[in-house]
Structure 1
Amino acid sequence: MKILHVTVNLAPRYGGVVQAVLDMAGALAARGHEVTIYTTNQDGPEQLDVPLNEPVMRDGVEVRYFPIQNPRFWGTSLPLAEALKADIPKFDVVHTHGLYLFHDLCTGHYCRKHGVPYIMQPHGTLDPYMYQRHRYRKSIMETLFGNRNIKRASGLIYTTEEEKILAKPYTFGAEGYIVPNGLDMSDYETLPEKGRFRSQYPQLQDQKMVLFFSRLNFKKGLDILIRAFSIVQAQHPDSMLVITGPDNENFGARAREWIQEEGIESKVIFTGMLTGQEKLAVLRDADLFVLPSYSENFGIAVIEAMVCGTPVMISDKVNIWRELEANRAGRVAPCSPELFAEGMNELLADKELSTAMGQRGRELVQNLYQWERVGESLEKVYMAVHRDAGQSRPRLQKVVANETRRM
């Protein structure tokens, strides 16, 4: 099949969604499909140093970057729109990532115009917590194109059953498929020697290391974590909090204020964003990974920690919490500093419990979250969508003709 993925950006600073798009495209290419990604060169306030409007091969996937334009918050790129208009008819199925954005508008319109089936993946934007954010602006987008895109899509892809349940009130009964994110296990076959990360920070020696590994962002629950860690200090004064991740919105300044208010400046280390072996080293050395998010579509960093054998504790707003709880592969708590502190204290105090949990976490990733298996599931969705679109093409063409006349 010829498959097109469309997403607003591919800069590493944007976290798990970017990695998920690249990995799922790579998994499909490995299964013999012809996979292309259309995106922009957006990288925060800057631009990626990449060729524009020409193919860049990446793990068997053709990536085409188009220039980001104002208004940047909308992911605007008129050259991207022109390319979609010209090229969408060449593909068997189109998979668009994210809602309320410029590429979302263009992809839905040209797919319907050319009778090409398209699948939408909201990546958590239909979680009630995120759905209410910037509600006025989003309601305009929904009226102009968003609701129509969902109603006419061949289906929506969710990474967990929890995400599907949360999104149900906003999807007009659209077909939903559950396809999790995954990891390439070959990237984790050889892990750094324990102690490599700690050796860079003398203050970590002989300390229990609690790790926050995610973007520094309003929804990640850093306020919960900092208060919880302050409570933990009473029982575990030999613990340190390491905060690792990109700070795209200067949210780190707010986090530092909370740390100062709690009087724990000497117990917290900020590392910035880590990648490659440095990322694996910090995950490997952590005694406990924590993610108390208010909203989290999947949590790719959670399964990265799990595959490194690190015990994890997450909020019940991280959508893989049901899977972790059912397999005893992680500790789950509500978004409460006191309850988070209770779980952190128990795991930091019981090495045997933590080790067993880390082992079960690694086994869960191996069983459910490998891209090889995820790619097979995604392939089945595409083939079903393509088949169904072929059977309904005459009716679809009539609907599109009527819609086009109104525009």
Structure 2
Amino acid sequence: MKVLHVIPSVSPVRGGPSQAVLEMVHALNQQGITTEIVTTNDHGSDLLNVPLEQQICHPLPFSNQTVPTCFFSRFSPRIASIREFSFSAQMTKWLWENIAQYDLVHVHAIFSYPSTIAMAIARLQGIPYIIRPIGQLCEWSLKQGKQKKQLYLNLIEKANLDHSRFLHLTSEQEHLELLKLNVKASSFILPLGFSFSNRIPDARQRIRLHLNLSPDEPIILFLSRLHPKKGLDYLIPALGQLAHHRFTFVLAGSGEPSYEAYVKSLLISNGIYNRTRLTGFVEGEIKNLLLQGSDLFVLTSHSENFGIAVLEAMASGLPVLATPGVALAAEIERYQLGYISQLAISDITSTLETYLTDQKRGNLMGQHAFQFVREHYNWSKIATRLIQIYQTIVEPKSISIVSH
């Protein structure tokens, strides 16, 4: 079986969805499925420095492993909205000439040129495909740029969705939101996995030394894209009401310059700018030190169809504070892996107060979360299940699955 994965970007600045596809493809290849990625050289406002129009061995994050990947040039005008669409004429030509070599196409994301054109070409050439919409069909996401997305959905993407063999959803919450739309395609729920980094025994001491903090300073960590959907306009005012508690807030991530400036203004107006460390985008050893050396991870998001950043934190042994919009919230609450707060300043403040007054209980939650992720979010197990689903499409008489 030969499977092609298409995604607009695998740049680390694009966060969890890009990291997940690299790890997914690696896990599939480890189990004997010939799997490759086609993408653009998108790197946010910049471009990745990679060879184009040829398959290369692209590094897997936090590993010495590689993933077969073919990059194509992204059209990069100054207008951000056009640049973000990730148009690539070279990718279009390659897909038209090569897509028939594959038994199946696994598309990641919608409302983006690489994904849309891959689905359209697959339809025209009779190649089956499935779609992982990465939360872009969730209610909050559809409300952002509502008129433009609705037009795009009605004119183009609805037909692509309806003709897909399956929609690959990553949580029950994403499935429930999909039911509100009139999508004809069946779906299956299969979570994302996590590849564990090596433990750093002295992470707590090293990250505090790096940030110039005292050895016993509590660290509350936000590590994600800086984006309006992440709820920082709720989290930062909540932190500002806890001046009587000792902690340092680490804000690790990057976003559009205008939004970064807004976040900085929030920190100043809420009186916690001097208690905050703004690290910008982090990866590699510094990212691992932050995850393994902090005390509490926070993600007060409006909407996360999965929440790979939350999974990373739990896999590092951190208790997490999340809001119901994060799809992992139900499991966090059910198995007591952290704290769930409503997306309101008063509720977030109260939940943070609960943690800061009983950090030992939080530490126990973090230990439990570490074991839980190891047991339930293993990429090898997830890849095995995904291969079974692929086989129902490519070899429909061999195996049957239950779709939603």
- Structure-2-length-normalised TM-score: 0.92
| 8 A Cα contact 1:188 1:308, kept in partner | no
Residue 294 of structure 1 is matched in structure 2 by 302
Residue 130 of structure 2 is matched in structure 1 by 119
Q: Deviations over 1:139-190 (max 9, x none)?
A: 22112210001111001011111111112222524211111111113x2445
Output the CA distance in 2 between the equivalents of 1:34 and 1:190. Answer: 34
Residue 224 of structure 1 is matched in structure 2 by 234
Aligned mate of 1:63, from 57, 63, 69: 69
Residue 110 of structure 2 is matched in structure 1 by 99
Q: What is the CA distance between 1:285 and its match in structure 2? A: 1.8
Q: Deviations over 1:219-239 (max 9, x none)?
A: 1111111011012223x1x11
Residue 45 of structure 1 is matched in structure 2 by 45
Q: Secondary structure at the match of 2:346?
A: helix
Output the CA distance in 2 between the equivalents of 1:165 and 1:375. Answer: 24
Aligned mate of 2:333, from 317, 325, 333: 325
Residues 312 and 161 of structure 1, relative CA distance in 2, 3 Å threshold: same
Q: Secondary structure at the match of 1:302?
A: helix
- Structure-1-length-normalised TM-score: 0.91
| 8 A Cα contact 2:391 2:398, kept in partner | no
Q: What is the CA distance between 1:23 and its match in structure 2? A: 0.7
Residue 404 of structure 1 is matched in structure 2 by none
Output the CA distance in 1 between the equivalents of 2:180 and 2:173. Answer: 13
Aligned mate of 1:168, from 179, 182, 186: 179
The number of residues matched between the two structures is: 388
Residue 312 of structure 1 is matched in structure 2 by 320
Moved more, 66-75 or 9-18: 66-75
Residue 62 of structure 2 is matched in structure 1 by none
Is 1:72 aligned to 2:83, yes or no? yes
Which amino acid counterpart does residue 374 of structure 1 have in structure 2?
Answer: I
Which amino acid counterpart does residue 237 of structure 2 have in structure 1?
Answer: R
Output the CA distance in 1 between the equivalents of 2:35 and 2:66. Answer: 8
Output the CA distance in 2 between the equivalents of 1:161 and 1:129. Answer: 16
Q: Which runs of 5+ in 2 are unaligned?
A: 59-64, 400-404
Moved more, 146-155 or 255-264: 255-264
Q: What is the CA distance between 1:43 and its match in structure 2? A: 1.4
Q: Which runs of 5+ in 1 are unaligned?
A: 392-407
Output the CA distance in 2 between the equivalents of 1:267 and 1:204. Answer: 13
Residue 351 of structure 1 is matched in structure 2 by 359
Residue 198 of structure 1 is matched in structure 2 by 208
Output the CA distance in 2 between the equivalents of 1:205 and 1:259. Answer: 24
Is 1:368 aligned to 2:376, yes or no? yes
Which amino acid counterpart does residue 98 of structure 1 have in structure 2?
Answer: A
Q: What is the CA distance between 1:280 and its match in structure 2? A: 1.2
Is 1:141 aligned to 2:152, yes or no? yes
Q: Secondary structure at the match of 2:393?
A: helix
| 8 A Cα contact 2:38 2:70, kept in partner | yes
Is 1:266 aligned to 2:298, yes or no? no
Which amino acid counterpart does residue 5 of structure 1 have in structure 2?
Answer: H
Percent of paired sites with the same residue: 30
Residue 9 of structure 1 is matched in structure 2 by 9
| 8 A Cα contact 2:254 2:260, kept in partner | no
Q: Deviations over 1:99-136 (max 9, x none)?
A: 11112221112211222110011101011001111111
Q: Secondary structure at the match of 2:306?
A: coil
Which amino acid counterpart does residue 221 of structure 1 have in structure 2?
Answer: G
Structure number having the greater helix percentage: 1
Which amino acid counterpart does residue 227 of structure 1 have in structure 2?
Answer: P
Q: What is the CA distance between 1:385 and its match in structure 2? A: 2.0
